[in-house]
């Protein structure tokens, strides 16, 4: 298969180009002076300056970050606890519980978002940041459970027993052995949770009342109305933040710490 | 692993409780609520005595426009899935079997990264690329946008499956005389089937329900069932009808998955 | 130094009895091997002594005290695990000092004792390395140092040498024995490798289906097995079945074998007409090409010859049974297949076993 590998590799590079070209174009045009995306290219930071003055976008940005942080704390805590239960115990209903992690991921977010809209209306939770937070955590939980669970699967159980034989109480064992070994997985899960929340559009779209939005929802509105390169600027920032978070995840989850 | 007994049950409940209570309250109960809503005669927003009806579901059966939308959406989902498969599988193959060492980890990361960087923003970036060429606001534009969004899913799942194939199995096949074509057809592809199916499921379902990409890239033209549902909840405020459409969509997708499942199960026996 | 005793231990998992009434006393300072096939209960017993398994019935006593309600971390035991279970995020020194630190020992004392422990296992100089930077044998030694530095009452070893290759295993066996004798600690270890059990132990116990089949000094258990299972599990054995034809003075019985031929051996409570099963170790048989058959001498034909360097294994058809024979190669050359031979042995080497 001499020709084969070369072709496959070329194809891979083309795929990467396909994935990145639009993003690169968008980032570059955010630094272009023309408000109509007209060439020739003139470097200018005008749109980033405009961004600073755009109160709506900044508010939306603050909401997004705030929700993402709270979401991360909640989802990581509950998700890690559940992952621990799955890794440590065998019980009836375990398989069902694990299967129930699929719907949030597999059902179209459109369906979930509208369902939440209906249900929250009925139990009198108003649309708003709290409702959005509820939705984000629900979507983040399966990811955290899977990521931490994968880390737990490679966790050498015997070390906890060894610690016990050496005289460590369960609390000492957790503090000195379990927690340090779990840390990379939990951090990976947390970063996933942050990325899921920060990028989430559909749920936020349905649960956001007029006037209070998250960044993606705000951008959507701006695009529908007709856009300026300010969108490019904020989008570039979003991409940098999300990709940064993901790179951090990769470092902790794959390469960092002990394997 | 400890087997559950009375001492452990408390711990198990305490550990899984919060997460699953949250999921129940935010996913399972809402879905049930929406199912219930789809049988309501009047939208819950309207203060009126509660009455039930099947007419929202009947509307789907009666008015061919919605059936068209459904078929259209299913077709779109299928096209996106197939494109992702055709483009993504060879890329996954390259990653799993051709690239080695540090390059492999780096390129894998590069493939996965855009996937996580906010679908909305990426869709927006496509408008910038397509507009100068007058390709915006067309059906192909929607397909391109969706493929771009979901491609990494397919590459990821296929990669995981392909990577798990032991090199010695491939060597054994070669030693038995298999040339590249037969090797791929009879050994590599069948063994990577779980990844292909997982990726397809992960792409088909959301693609059928998408509305954001069709709106942004398709404009007035690319109409999908997803957009119709969105309308019911944002513009028309006809929640029961929107709920019915949602469940019909979910049902159609489930039916397709169930139809494929037995054949898939058979093929994947032993893997 | 301590004694450990287990009385009437029973442990069930669903309907399977992992331990089915096990009673054993482990003497102060002895090196005791628990031997048996997978699932026979030996590991369950070890873990019950450690405290990871709670018995359904029966007691575990350490120094005469019932430790049933005592949690693992309070039992003051030392344990070595099959894959060492070193703390991957800690250095060698931190691994070894762990047990002392959780007990709150002062820092100078900890440093001193860690140093002594690492010197005892001959690993001085590697304090700052992480486990993944060490070889298998080195990790093994760290695990041993870590278990012993706290001066536990008893040392429990769960197939500790399983992951090592042959040479390293033998080297570690010697090391383990040396250190154990030096420290004088009561040691109980689990293995499915019978050669290892024989070479290391002061006493061994053979497990089958949750019960102890036989226990005693290695040589006693090897030379005088009580059941067919024990005879077959420890080394190889030929089994000869026959009927008692006569009883002579001194409890000597004459037995007519099913395969033909006659043997004599000592039988306690032998009855004429009784069916007996006799075990005969392959190395106890003498091979002669040609010769006279007779009492304790059977004629056969060589089927198969396997040369193993210092010994040769013969498979010989005797009647419709195949017997195995080990012969030390005192001289060069082996007997060719197809040769008519006579196998003979001393009646002392025939052991009656229960089927």
Task: Give the domain ranges of chain B.
Answer: 63-267
**H or E element, residue C145:** helix C136-148
Distance to chain A for C103, nearest Cα, Å: 7
Quick one: pLDDT at residue A1? Answer: 47
pLDDT reported for residue C160: 83
Domain ranges in chain A?
A: 48-255
Q: Is C293 exposed, middle or buried (0-12, 13-18, 19+ CB in 10 A)?
A: middle
Q: Which CATH homologous superfamily contains domain B63-267? A: MetI-like (1.10.3720.10)
Which residues from C are below 8 Å from A181, CB to CB? Answer: 88-89
Chain C: residue whose CA lies nearest to A164: C73
Tell me what pLDDT residue C61 has: 94
Q: What pLDDT shows up at residue A255? A: 46
Kind of pairing between the strands at C351-353 and C275-280: antiparallel
Q: What is the pLDDT of residue C29?
A: 93
The stretch B48-76 carries a mean pLDDT of: 81
Rounded to the nearest angstrom, the minimum Cα separation between A145 and chain C is 23
Distance from C-alpha of B14 to C-alpha of B126, rounded to nearest angstrom: 46
Cα torsion for A114, A117, A120, A124, to the nearest 10°? -150
Query: For testing the chain A interface, which of B23, B92, B178 should be mutated: the one with the most A CBs within 10 Å?
Result: B23
First to last CA, chain C: 40
β pairing state of C286-289 and C340-344: antiparallel
Contact B114 A92 (CB under 8 A): no
Name chain C's partners: 3 or more CB pairs within 8 A.
A
Going by pLDDT thresholds of 50, 70 and 90, the confidence category of residue B245 is: confident
Please compute the mean of the pLDDT values over residues B38-56 and round it to a whole number.
76
Chain C partners within 8 Å of A161 (Cβ): 50, 52, 72, 79, 81, 85
Give, for all 355 residues of chain C, the pLDDT tens digit.
689 999 999 999 888 889 999 999 999 999 999 999 988 899 999 999 999 889 999 999 999 899 988 888 888 899 998 888 889 888 999 999 998 988 888 999 999 999 999 999 988 888 899 988 999 889 999 999 999 999 999 999 998 887 788 888 888 889 899 999 999 999 999 998 888 899 899 999 999 999 999 999 999 999 999 999 999 998 899 999 999 999 888 888 999 999 888 999 988 888 888 899 999 999 999 998 878 888 999 999 999 999 998 999 999 999 889 999 999 998 888 888 999 999 999 999 999 999 8
Domain C4-225 matching CATH 2.30.130.10: the answer reads: no
Q: Which of B87, B97, B128 sits opposite A25 (nearest CB)?
A: B128
Domain ranges of chain C: 4-225, 236-353
More confident residue, B140 or A77: A77
Q: Do B209 and A109 touch (CB under 8 A)?
A: yes
| Helical ranges in chain B per DSSP H | 6-23, 29-37, 55-62, 64-93, 101-112, 119-130, 139-163, 167-175, 180-183, 189-191, 193-208, 212-213, 225-234, 239-267
Cβ–Cβ gap B212/A220 under 8 Å: yes
Distance from CA of B137 to the nearest CA of A (A): 13
Q: With an 8 Å Cβ cutoff, are B34 and A115 in contact?
A: yes
Question: Which chain C residues are closer than 8 Å to A180 by Cβ?
Answer: 89
What is the predicted pLDDT for the residue at A90? 79
Kindly list the partner chains of chain A, i.e. chains with 3 or more CB atom pairs below 8 Å. B, C
Using CA atoms, how far apart are residues B118 and B149, in angstroms rounded to an integer? 9
Structural class in CATH, domain A48-255: mainly alpha
Is the pLDDT at B81 greater than 90? The verdict is yes
Neighbouring subunits of B (3+ Cβ pairs under 8 A): A
Identify the segments of chain A with pLDDT beneath 50. Answer: 1, 255-259
Interface test with A, best of B35, B116, B159, B224 (most A CBs within 10 A): B116
Q: Which of residues 138-167 of C touch A (CB under 8 A)?
A: 143, 146-147, 150, 156
Beta bridge partners of C242: C257, C276
CB of A167 within 8 Å of any CB in chain C?
yes
CATH architecture of the region C236-353: Beta Barrel (2.40)
Contact A250 B242 (CB under 8 A): no
Best probe of the B interface among A32, A83, A110, by most B CBs < 10 A, is: A110
Q: Do B33 and A122 touch (CB under 8 A)?
A: yes
Q: Least CA distance to B235: which residue of chain A? A: A206
Distance between start and end Cα atoms, chain A: 34
The answer to whether A255 and C86 are in contact (CB under 8 A) is no
């Amino acid at each position: 298969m001499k020709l084969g590998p070369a072709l496959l590799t070329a194809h891979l590079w083309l795929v990467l180009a396909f994935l990145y070209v639009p993003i690169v174009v968008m980032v570059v045009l955010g630094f272009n002076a023309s408000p109509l995306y007209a060439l020739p290219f003139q470097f200018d930071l005008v749109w980033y300056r405009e961004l600073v003055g755009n109160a709506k976008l900044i508010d939306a940005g603050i909401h997004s970050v705030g929700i993402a942080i709270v979401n991360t704390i909640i989802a990581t805590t509950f998700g890690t606890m559940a992952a621990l239960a799955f890794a440590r115990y065998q019980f009836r209903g375990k398989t069902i519980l694990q299967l129930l992690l699929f719907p949030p991921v597999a059902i179209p977010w459109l369906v979930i978002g509208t369902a939440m809209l209906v249900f929250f209306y009925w139990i009198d939770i108003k649309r708003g940041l709290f409702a959005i937070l509820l939705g984000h955590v629900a979507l983040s939980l399966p990811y955290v459970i899977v990521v931490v669970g994968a880390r737990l699967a490679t966790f050498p159980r015997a070390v906890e027993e060894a610690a016990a034989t050496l005289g460590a109480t369960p609390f000492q064992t957790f503090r000195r052995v379990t927690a340090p070994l779990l840390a990379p997985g939990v951090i990976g899960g947390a970063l996933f949770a942050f990325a899921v929340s920060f990028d989430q559009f559909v749920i936020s779209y349905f649960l956001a009342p007029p006037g209070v939005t998250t960044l993606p929802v705000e951008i959507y509105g701006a695009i529908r109305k007709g856009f300026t390169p300010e969108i490019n600027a904020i989008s570039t920032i979003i991409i940098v933040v999300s990709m940064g978070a993901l790179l951090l995840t990769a470092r902790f989850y794959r390469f960092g710490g002990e394997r | 692993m400890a087997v559950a007994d009375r001492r452990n049950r408390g711990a198990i409940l305490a550990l899984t409780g919060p997460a699953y209570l949250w999921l129940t309250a935010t996913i399972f109960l809402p879905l049930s609520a929406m199912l219930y809503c789809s049988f309501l005669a009047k939208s819950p927003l309207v203060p009126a005595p509660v009455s039930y009806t099947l007419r929202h579901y009947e509307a789907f059966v009666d008015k061919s426009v919605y059936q068209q939308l459904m078929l259209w959406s299913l077709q779109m989902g299928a096209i996106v899935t197939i494109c992702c498969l055709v483009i993504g599988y060879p890329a996954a193959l390259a990653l799993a079997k051709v690239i080695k060492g540090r390059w492999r980890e780096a390129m894998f990361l590069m493939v996965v990264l855009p996937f996580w960087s906010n679908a909305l923003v990426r869709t927006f970036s496509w408008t910038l690329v397509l507009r100068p060429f007058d390709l915006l606001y067309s059906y192909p534009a929607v397909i391109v946008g969706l493929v771009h969004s979901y491609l990494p899913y397919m590459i990821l799942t296929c990669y995981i499956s392909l990577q798990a194939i032991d090199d010695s199995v491939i060597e054994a096949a070669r030693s038995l005389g298999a040339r590249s074509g037969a090797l791929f057809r009879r050994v590599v592809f069948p063994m990577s089937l779980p990844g292909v199916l997982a990726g397809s499921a992960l792409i088909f379902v959301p693609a059928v329900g998408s509305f954001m990409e069709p709106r942004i890239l398709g404009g007035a033209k690319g109409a999908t069932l997803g957009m119709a549902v969105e309308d019911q909840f944002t513009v028309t405020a006809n929640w029961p009808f929107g709920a019915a459409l949602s469940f019909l969509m979910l049902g159609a997708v489930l039916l397709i998955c169930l139809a494929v499942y037995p054949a898939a199960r058979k093929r994947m026996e032993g893997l | 130094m301590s004694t450990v005793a287990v009385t009437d231990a029973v442990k069930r998992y669903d309907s399977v009895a992992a331990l089915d009434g096990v009673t054993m006393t482990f003497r102060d300072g002895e090196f005791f091997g628990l031997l048996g096939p997978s699932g026979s209960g030996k590991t369950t017993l070890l873990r019950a002594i450690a405290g990871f398994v709670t018995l359904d019935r029966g007691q575990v006593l350490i120094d005469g005290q019932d430790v049933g309600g005592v949690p693992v971390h309070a039992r003051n035991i030392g344990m070595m695990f099959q894959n060492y279970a070193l703390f991957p995020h800690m250095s060698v020194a931190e691994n070894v000092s762990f047990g002392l630190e959780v007990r709150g020992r002062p820092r100078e004392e900890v440093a001193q004792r860690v140093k002594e422990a690492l010197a005892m296992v001959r690993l001085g100089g590697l304090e700052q390395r992480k486990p993944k930077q060490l070889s298998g044998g080195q990790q093994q030694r760290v695990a041993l140092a870590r278990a012993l530095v706290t001066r536990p009452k008893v040392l429990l070893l769960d197939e500790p040498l399983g992951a090592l290759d042959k040479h390293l295993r033998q080297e570690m066996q010697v090391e383990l024995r040396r250190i154990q004798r030096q420290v004088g600690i009561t040691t109980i270890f689990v293995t499915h490798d019978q050669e290892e059990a024989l070479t290391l132990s002061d006493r061994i116990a053979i497990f089958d289906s949750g019960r102890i089949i036989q226990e005693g000094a290695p040589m006693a258990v090897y030379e005088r097995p009580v059941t067919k299972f024990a005879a077959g599990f420890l080394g190889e054995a030929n089994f000869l079945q026959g009927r008692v034809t006569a009883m002579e003075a001194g409890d000597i019985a004459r037995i007519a074998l099913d395969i033909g031929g006659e043997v004599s051996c000592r039988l306690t409570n032998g009855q004429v007409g009784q069916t007996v099963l006799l075990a005969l170790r392959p190395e106890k048989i003498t091979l002669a090409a040609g010769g006279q058959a007779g009492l304790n001498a059977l004629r056969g034909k060589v089927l198969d010859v396997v040369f193993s360097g210092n010994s040769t294994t013969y498979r010989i058809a005797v009647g419709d049974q195949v017997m195995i024979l080990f012969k030390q190669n005192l001289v060069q050359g082996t007997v060719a297949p197809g040769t008519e031979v006579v196998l003979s042995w001393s009646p002392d080497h025939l052991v009656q076993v229960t089927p």
